A and B are shown apart, each in its own frame.
Chain A
Amino acid sequence: MMNDPVGRPQDVTDLPPEAGGSFERSLPGVQEPDSSGMSASDLPDLSGPLTPSGNLRRRQLVSRLFEAAQTASALLAVAVLGLVIYSVTARAASVLSLSFLTHDPPLVSGESGGGIAPAILGTIVIVALATVIAMPIGVLSALYLTEFASPWTARAFRLVLDLLNGLPTIVVGLFVFGLLVVGHHQSGFAASVALAIIMLPLIARATQETLLLVPAGMREAADALGVSRWRTVRGVVLPAARGGILTATVLSVARAAGETAPLIFLSSIYGNTISLNPFSGALPNIPVYIFTSSEAAEANGFARAWGAAFVLLAFILFANIVSRTLSRRSALSR
Chain B
Amino acid sequence: MSSSTRLAGALPGNARSRVRLGDRIGDGVLYGLCLGAALLALLALALIVYKVIAGASPSVSRFGLGFLTHSTWEPNFGIFGAGTFIYGTAVTSLVALVLAVPLAISIALYLSMVAPRRVSAIIGPLVEMLAAIPSVILGFWGIIVLAPFLQAHLEPFLHSVLGFLPIFGSTPTTGTGLFIAGLILTIMVVPIIASLSRDLFLSVPRELQEGGAALGATRWEVIRGVVLPSSASGVAAATCLGLGRALGEAIAVTQVVGAGNAIHASLFQTGDTLASRIADQFQGATSALHIASLFYLGLILLVIELLVNVAAQWIARHFDVRRVGS
Q: Which residues of A contact B (CB under 8 A)?
A: 1-7, 9, 11-12, 15, 19-20, 23-24, 26-27, 59-60, 62-63, 66-67, 69-74, 76-78, 80-81, 83-84, 87-88, 91, 136-141, 143-145, 147-149, 157, 159-164, 166-172, 174-175, 177-179, 197, 200-201, 204, 223-231, 233, 254-255, 257-261, 264-265, 268, 287, 290-291, 294-295, 302, 305-306, 309, 312-313, 316-317, 320, 324
User: Cβ of B51 and Cβ of A67 under 8 Å apart?
Assistant: no
Residues of A within 8 A of B302 (CB): 167-168, 171
Decide yes or no whether B166 CB sits under 8 A from chain A. no
User: If A63-B219, A164-B45, A290-B140 touch, does A70 touch B27 (CB 8 Å cutoff)?
Assistant: no
CB under 8 Å from chain A, chain B span 85-113: 103, 106-107, 109-113
* CB of A255, distance to nearest CB on chain B (Å): 7
Contact with A along B218-258 (1 / 0, CB 8 A): 11111101100000000000000100100111110001000
Tell me how many residues of B have a C-beta within 8 Å of chain A. Answer: 110
* CB of B115, distance to nearest CB on chain A (Å): 6
Residues of A within 8 A of B30 (CB): 143, 229-230, 233
Residues of B within 8 A of A67 (CB): 110, 114, 219-220
Decide yes or no whether B154 CB sits under 8 A from chain A. no
Q: Is chain A's interface secondary structure helix, strand, loop, or mixed overall? A: helix
Decide yes or no whether B7 CB sits under 8 A from chain A. yes
Decide yes or no whether B47 CB sits under 8 A from chain A. yes
**With the chains together, A138 CA to B221 CA distance in Å?**
44
Residues of A within 8 A of B1 (CB): 228-229
A225 to chain B: closest residue by CB: B7
User: If A3-B117, A137-B40, A227-B4 touch, does A144 touch B137 (CB 8 Å cutoff)?
Assistant: no
**With the chains together, A213 CA to B187 CA distance in Å?**
32
Contact with A along B275-306 (1 / 0, CB 8 A): 10011001100000000001100100110011
User: Cβ of A137 and Cβ of B136 under 8 Å apart?
Assistant: no
User: Cβ of B51 and Cβ of A175 under 8 Å apart?
Assistant: yes
User: If A6-B113, A167-B305 touch, does A312 touch B137 (CB 8 Å cutoff)?
Assistant: yes
User: If A23-B221, A287-B136 touch, does A144 touch B114 (CB 8 Å cutoff)?
Assistant: no
Decide yes or no whether B34 CB sits under 8 A from chain A. yes
A15 to chain B: closest residue by CB: B216
User: Cβ of B41 and Cβ of A20 under 8 Å apart?
Assistant: no
User: Cβ of B206 and Cβ of A200 under 8 Å apart?
Assistant: no
16 extra A-B contacts, CB within 8 A, seeds A5-B222, A140-B36, A261-B279: A27-B212, A27-B215, A59-B218, A71-B115, A83-B145, A141-B38, A166-B312, A169-B250, A170-B278, A179-B51, A226-B7, A228-B26, A228-B27, A287-B136, A294-B143, A313-B137
CB under 8 Å from chain A, chain B span 12-68: 19, 23-24, 26-27, 29-31, 33-38, 40-42, 44-45, 47-48, 51-52, 54-55
User: If A60-B218, A63-B220 touch, does A290 touch B137 (CB 8 Å cutoff)?
Assistant: yes
**With the chains together, A73 CA to B141 CA distance in Å?**
21
User: Cβ of A309 and Cβ of B117 under 8 Å apart?
Assistant: no
Residues of B within 8 A of A312 (CB): 134, 137
User: Cβ of B215 and Cβ of A70 under 8 Å apart?
Assistant: no
Residues of A within 8 A of B33 (CB): 140
User: Cβ of A170 and Cβ of B250 under 8 Å apart?
Assistant: yes
Residues of B within 8 A of A224 (CB): 3
Decide yes or no whether B217 CB sits under 8 A from chain A. yes
Residues of A within 8 A of B26 (CB): 228-231
Residues of A within 8 A of B261 (CB): none
* CB of A29, distance to nearest CB on chain B (Å): 10
Residues of A within 8 A of B248 (CB): 166-171
Stretch at the interface among B70-78, B119-127, B263-271, B318-326: B119-127
- Most B Cβ at <10 Å: residue of A137, A161, A175, A302: A175
User: Cβ of A228 and Cβ of B140 under 8 Å apart?
Assistant: no
Residues of A within 8 A of B298 (CB): 170-171, 174
User: Cβ of A73 and Cβ of B106 under 8 Å apart?
Assistant: yes
User: Cβ of A5 and Cβ of B210 under 8 Å apart?
Assistant: yes
- Most A Cβ at <10 Å: residue of B8, B24, B283: B283
**With the chains together, A226 CA to B194 CA distance in Å?**
46
**With the chains together, A3 CA to B52 CA distance in Å?**
47
User: Cβ of B283 and Cβ of A264 under 8 Å apart?
Assistant: yes
Residues of A within 8 A of B139 (CB): 294
* CB of B59, distance to nearest CB on chain A (Å): 13
**With the chains together, A4 CA to B298 CA distance in Å?**
47
